[in-house]
Every structure is written in structure tokens, then in C-alpha cells.
Amino acid sequence: MDDPLPPDEDLVFQELLRLDVEPNQVPPELFEGFLLRLANSVGLPLPRARAALQGLIDKGKFDTSDESGEEGVRNEREVLRELLLHDPEIRDLLKEIVRDIAAGKT
């Protein structure tokens, strides 16, 4: 079971849940303003809100993966492509398909 959060972290965490936002979703250029508004909305001084947010991040309360869904799909496609292109049977089959397509166009 999770340990209870310190009061500042709990305030910040509840506000982030209410807003339905994770810190890694905020663009870097807007983060400072977001943090200031977050501090104001929970009634904490900025340094305490920043420390609470960092504590939540350090505890793994947010998905900090940099890989978005689109990037994940792209990486999966690259892996599959590499696997397929290095398989001699698949490579020969692809050459045959390309040859058939090229022959049909002329």
C-alpha cells in the first residue's frame, strides 16, 4: 500500500487530479506559468509547490515516459522493418513484390 503523502504533496496531487493534467503534459515553455497558477490554486508559496511537485515526480506518481503513442508506433514500425528486412526470406519476398509491381506499371 502507498504511504500517505506529505500535506503539500497531497494538496498538489489532488489539484492535478482535479485538473486532469500531469506535469509531463505541460509544454516546457508554459511550465513556469503552470507551476505559478498551481501554487496559487492550492494556496502554497511557489517554492513549496515546486518542491511538492518534484516530490510527486520522484515518487513516480506520474507517467514520465517521453514516448507518446505516435512515437511508440513509429518505434515499433522501425523495429518490425529492421526485423523483416534482415530476414532473407522476407527480403526475397519483398523484392519479388516490387518486381511484380514494377512489371505491372510498364
Euclidean distance between CA atoms 32 and 7, whole angstroms: 22
Domain chopping of the chain, boundaries: 7-58, 69-105
- Write the pLDDT tens digit of every residue in 48-69: 999 999 999 998 888 655 555 5
Long-range contacts of 87-93 (CB under 8 A, 24+ apart): none
pTM above 0.75, yes or no: no
Nearest by Cα to 42 from 79, 85, 8: 8
Which of 7-11, 39-43, 49-53, 82-86 bottoms out in mean pLDDT, i.e. has the lowest? 82-86
Long-range contacts of 13-21 (CB under 8 A, 24+ apart): 13/56, 13/61, 15/41, 15/42, 16/56
Q: In this structure, which amino acid lies at residue 49?
A: A
- Write the pLDDT tens digit of every residue in 30-45: 899 999 999 999 999 9
